[in-house]
Amino acid sequence: MSDPIALWHAEHVNFASLLDILEKQLDLFHRGKPPDYGMMLDIMFYMTHYPDVLHHPKEESAFARLKEREPRSGTILDRLTGQHARLKQCGDALVIALDDIVNGSITRREHVEAPGRAYIAEFRSHMETEETQILPLAQKLLRDEDWESIEAAIRDVDDPLFSDTGGERYAALRRQIARESRTAKASPR
Ligand SMILES: [Fe+2]
Ligand SMILES: [Fe+2]
């Protein structure tokens, strides 16, 4: 079995790269330049069809086990679970707003920026807490048999963007991610 903690972390790295791309688009908008609303919609569509559908439910299954083993972690795990619900709600609202813009109906474009930035900030701080506090706890407390039960309890969904089996739906976004990663390599911060 591949290392579940490494996979967990790798998904966070993927999500962080998408939040960076989304933020750059909002920055363009902020400077009065036209962002790529289609790409923003692709990102938010993915966020509501992979992290919300697989990553977060799987975490919540892991959280339940962690809570049993380490009851003192309950407060923070409950807070993270609440954030999953809020991120889903905000993500769904952004998909609707962006979809309306892309399809030319009347959503005011200004309405995308503040919710977009709030979504990015909350998702980032959520992952930061998981990375610094929960993954190390899971590393310490969860065994192979825990992970087998967690996997078995979750509907198996291939990552439609980052896995090898990803389809055409995200072809343009995949090209953008490749471009961003080449730029990052060429000019390391
Ligand atoms: Fe989470
Ligand atoms: Fe996570």
- The pLDDT tens digits for 144-155 are 999 999 999 888
Per-residue model confidence as pLDDT tens digits over 85-128: 999 999 999 999 999 999 988 677 778 999 999 999 999 999 99
Q: Is 92 helix (H, G, I), strand (E, B) or coil?
A: helix
Tokens of 69: 């083993």
Nearest to 129 by CA among 89, 73, 86: 73
Distance 18 CA to ligand 1 centre (A): 16
Full-model pTM:
0.93
Main-chain phi, psi angles of 155, to 5 degrees: -60, 125
Collect residues with CB below 5 Å from ion ligand 1.
Answer: 59
Tokens of 33: 């330049």
Distance 108 CA to ligand 2 centre (A): 31
| C-beta neighbour count of 66 within 10 angstroms | 21
Distance 56 CA to ligand 1 centre (A): 5
